[in-house]
Structure 1
């Protein structure tokens, strides 16, 4: 994976990175909730999977056929997988990462969100 993308993921407030052995994937989490996953598909192609609003996820798949697909081994409505070897702009990938992070963060109670934003564990 591009080092800049990995660094961007890890720079999110409260982000933790681990390796899920069963999935052979690196996961990026906030308080145990995954907002990104870096793995390979069954053909060994490198993918980054992110959570998005369903309508946005579908729109991106339509605009970038064969570069962005429904989430690989994930809920197809809410998750997209990006083929990292394809020519997608870093800006687009970062916007998708931001949306995924915001959705996961938004799922926490306000008190927990404040704790995360203030860097409390």
Structure 2
């Protein structure tokens, strides 16, 4: 998985907007003003931070050494996936979709 393909996929989501968080050296992707993905580097490795349910975050971290708590975001809900690791592209795309849906639920709830 490369970051260019990943950004293209994220930006294909309805209402997706891209911005740069200069302090974190990260590209943030939001929908309706709600963050659902953040592309950045972790120790020189390409990475993607996504929102999940706490239960899914725990399962992912237990099953994959390339999934860790996010450094800059709520560690209960946000996980960082190392893109040059063992995760399959299909898993990453599925998790992007799930994060996007979570952002939609947050928008709908007005949180």
- Say whether the fold is shared (TM-score over 0.5): yes
Whole-Å separation in 2 of the counterparts to 1:24 and 1:8: 20
Equivalence for 2:26: 25
Higher Cα Rg, which structure: 1
Q: Tell me the TM-score normalized by structure 1.
A: 0.83
Whole-Å separation in 2 of the counterparts to 1:57 and 1:14: 25
Structure number with the higher strand fraction is 2
Deviation at 1:21, TM superposition (A): 1.2
* Structure 1 residues without counterparts, runs of 5 or longer: 113-121
Deviation at 1:87, TM superposition (A): 2.6
Q: Tell me the TM-score normalized by structure 2.
A: 0.90
CA RMSD of aligned residues (A): 1.5
Equivalence for 2:70: 71
Whole-Å separation in 1 of the counterparts to 2:100 and 2:108: 15
Do the aligned residues in 2 keep the contact of 1:27 with 1:36 (CA within 8 Å)?
yes
How many aligned positions are there? Answer: 109
Deviation at 1:13, TM superposition (A): 0.6
Structure 1 outlier segments of 4+, above 4 Å: none
